[in-house]
Amino acid sequence: MKKIRIGLIGAGGMGRAHTIAYKNLTNFFGNEIVPELVVVADVNEAAAAKMAETFGYQRSTGDWMSVVTDPEIDLIDITTPNASHCPIAIEAAKNGKNVYCEKPLAMDAEEARNATAVTDEAGIITAVGFNYLCNPIQVYVRDLIASGALGKVVDFRGTFDQDYYNEPDQKHEWRMFKSASASGALGDLASHTISLSQFLVGDVDEVCGMTSIVVPERPDPKDPSKMLPVENDDDVHFMMRYKNGAIGTIMSNRLASGRKLSLTYEIQLTNGSIVYTQERQNEVQIYRHDDDKKQRGFKTVYAVPGHGDFDKFYPAGAGFGMSYSDLKVIEVHNALSAAAENKPYEIDFHFATKIMEIIDAVLESAETRSWVKVGKE
């Protein structure tokens, strides 16, 4: 048994989701790696204290610096708003701590590259919260594409639409300020779609995008009679050309009526196609062009033991639905195993920097109304 002592920074929604995953880890993966909930920090000290009390962290604090310098911590888990991800990660790395950070990694690609250089130099393990890649069905899809059974990828069409900002009385929040979040739907939602595109199809060479702010101001949560500006994209569309010759589009709207967790993709290949929606995360639709003509049609493949870590949850077979929380358990397992074995995790700061490079290129493209190359020349 290996204990990993956790310092969590950020006691909001994602802090809660990560903590639930820590608490569930040994239930599904056994006690080879056991997280110890040592300390939780939040600028809102009362929120940190409440989380410590609810979930059994030994201590709480309002000072994250005391957590990254704490000799009793092995891994710093960052679940704060985007602007503080890299500053905290860099201090953690300088203190020799492994880092597990929520997406998007950084405010821009330069900040991501800098944080990656510091964490590489420190020789620590990093992991980033692109939890949808932990879905066993995505491991199946990646293997299916790699097998060549459906031919070569021709195009990827992805979305991430939600309607959580479409309520008329929706108040302003940090995600709408450039200083706290950088981009809007692009970094918050589409970063997940980009992570799937990266995981399943590969590197993007150039992009052409446009963004739109649909509701330009929102009521101040502290005083709803005052309005605050919405500074970043509510809606984003962009086209991509991959390095392997495939093409693609991604669209994301945080005011998309009726769309709840509409993280979707359709991948067209030369000999078939693959259709997925996160609203039905335990299955994927596969069309095989070389099926007998009289039998052709999309067929549903369910997640089963043999796909990724599905067997850890339901060894009996298909049809038992895994949930969002289960994906976080797999992610926590991946991050903590990498830290315990001192082996890099695929979804690390290098991977997340590629996502930031695409986000930067889309924003530049929208600004300049032109195609933009991805990454540093």
Ligand X SMILES: NC(=O)c1ccc[n+]([C@@H]2O[C@H](COP(=O)([O-])OP(=O)(O)OC[C@H]3O[C@@H](n4cnc5c(N)ncnc54)[C@H](O)[C@@H]3O)[C@@H](O)[C@H]2O)c1
The distance of closest approach from Cβ of residue 191 to ligand X in the complex, given in angstroms and rounded to an integer, is 8
Q: Which is nearer to ligand X, 164 or 244 (CB)?
A: 164
E strand spans, 223-278: 223-229, 235-242, 247-253, 262-269, 272-277
Among 4, 5, 10, 52, binds ligand X (CB under 6 A): 10
Q: What are phi and psi of 182, to 5 degrees?
A: 65, -110
Query: Is 349 among the residues that bind ligand X (CB under 6 A)?
Result: no
- 10 Å CB burial of residue 252 (0-12, 13-18, 19+) is buried
233 binds ligand X per the rule CB under 6 A:
no
Smallest gap from residue 186 Cβ to ligand X (A): 11
Which residues sit opposite 253 in a β-bridge? 235
Cα atoms in the 13 Å half-sphere on the side-chain side of 53: 6
Contact between residue 88 and residue 68 where contact means Cβ atoms under 8 Å apart? yes
Binding to ligand X by residue 11, rule CB under 6 A? yes
Q: Is 215 in the site for ligand X (CB under 6 A)?
A: no
C-alpha span between 139 and 308 (Å, rounded): 6
DSSP state at residue 255: T
Least Å distance, CB 298 to ligand X, is 27
Q: In terms of CB distance, is 278 or 365 closer to ligand X?
A: 278
In this structure, are residues 355 and 103 in contact, taking their beta carbons and an 8 Å threshold? Answer: yes
Report whether 8 contacts 40 (CB < 8 A): yes
Single-letter residue type at 11:
A
**What part of residues 92-121 is at the interface with ligand X (CB under 6 A)?**
102-103
Question: 189 or 286: whose CB is closer to ligand X?
Answer: 189
Residue nearest to ligand X (CB): 12
Q: Which region among 81-89, 151-159, 247-255, 359-367 touches ligand X (by CB under 6 A)?
A: 81-89
From 69, 84, 166, 249, residue interacting with ligand X (rule: CB under 6 A):
84
**Helix, strand, coil percentages for the chain (3-state, nearest 5):** 40, 25, 35
Kindly give the pairing relationship between strand 153-161 and strand 247-253.
parallel
Min CB(270)–ligand X separation in Å: 33
C-alpha–C-alpha distance, residues 124 and 68, integer Å? 13
Instruction: Count the Cβ atoms, other than its own, within 10 Å of residue 284.
Output: 25
| Cβ nearer to ligand X, comparing 14 with 246 | 14
Nearer to ligand X, 13 or 123 (CB): 13
> Cβ 206 to ligand X, closest distance in Å?
26
Question: Quick check: 342 binds ligand X (CB under 6 A)?
Answer: no
Q: Would residue 77 be called left, alpha or beta, if left means φ above 0 and alpha means ψ between -120 and 50 degrees? A: beta
Could you say whether residue 13 binds ligand X (CB under 6 A)?
yes
Please pick, from the candidates 19, 61, 79, 183, the single residue that binds ligand X as defined by CB under 6 A. Answer: 79
What is the footprint of ligand X within residues 155-214 (CB under 6 A)? Answer: 188
Using CB under 6 A as the binding criterion, the count of chain residues that bind ligand X stands at 22
Rule CB under 6 A: is residue 129 a binding residue for ligand X?
Answer: yes
Smallest gap from Cβ 97 to ligand X, in A, equals 15
Binding mask 37-66 for ligand X (x = CB under 6 A): ----xxxx--x----------------x--
CB 240 within 8 A of CB 250: yes
Omega before 104 within 30 of 0, i.e. cis: yes
Residues that bind ligand X (CB under 6 A): 9-14, 41-44, 47, 64, 79-82, 84, 102-103, 129, 131, 188
